[in-house]
Amino acid sequence: MATSNTGVRARITRVLGVVLLSIAAIALSGAQPAAAAQSCTGQQQSNVCITTTDIGGGLYHVTLGIDFRIGRAAAQQIIDAPGEPFTGAVFEVDATLGYLFSMPVIGVGASDDAGLSADFQLVVPRIWLDEDAGSAVDTVRGRIRLLDSRVNRVITFHTPPLSQIF
């Protein structure tokens, strides 16, 4: 009889442990909801956006994106040319347009609707966005540069400023 009681207790303890771990995981994931902020130009010819999302643990997911409406054929010519057509970076805005960090390109595409599109993503520590330590609100903006190989020129696009407490 003692053996069966020990087995029952062990099973109950295991079940309770699984239930408590599940409840703890749900509570912890709900304790740190992702907070996102976005700023876009909304222009017809070229829409450029920056998004920052607090992913917890002092980290932010930063995204830059562009839709440059030049037509699918022209966009494909730029994509097919040798080299990477886009570079991206984030800058502080409060005092001067000071460089904070570069953004890697994660995707480039051509479509009838958006024309030439590019996406940049990076997870950074909060301190990289806290460009003027001590101030309550920080202001950053994205810059995307495109090497238009059809005419051998660089076109620079800026997002509107994004103000947030980092």
Residue with tokens 């966005």: 129
In which band, very low, low, confident or very high, does the pLDDT at 60 lie, cut at 50, 70 and 90? very high
Burial of 35-66, coded b for 16+ CB within 10 Å and e otherwise, reads eebebbbeeeebbbbbbbbbeeeeebebbbbb
Give the DSSP H/E element, type plus range, for residue 72. helix 72-80
- Architecture, CATH, for domain 35-164: Sandwich (2.60)
pLDDT category at 34 given cuts 50, 70, 90 is low
Rounded average pLDDT over 32-59: 90
Task: Report the pLDDT averaged over residues 56-83.
Answer: 96
| Residue-averaged pLDDT of the chain | 82
Between 135 and 27, the more confident residue is 135
Q: Could you tell me the residue ranges of all domains in the chain? A: 1-31, 35-164
Q: How confident is the model at residue 95 (pLDDT cuts 50, 70, 90)?
A: low
Looking at 16-20, 64-68, 129-133, which range is the least confident one?
16-20
Which residues have C-beta within 8 Å of that of residue 44, sequence separation ≥ 6? 69
Is 0.85 surpassed by the pTM of this model? no
Pair 12, 19: CB distance under 8 Å: no
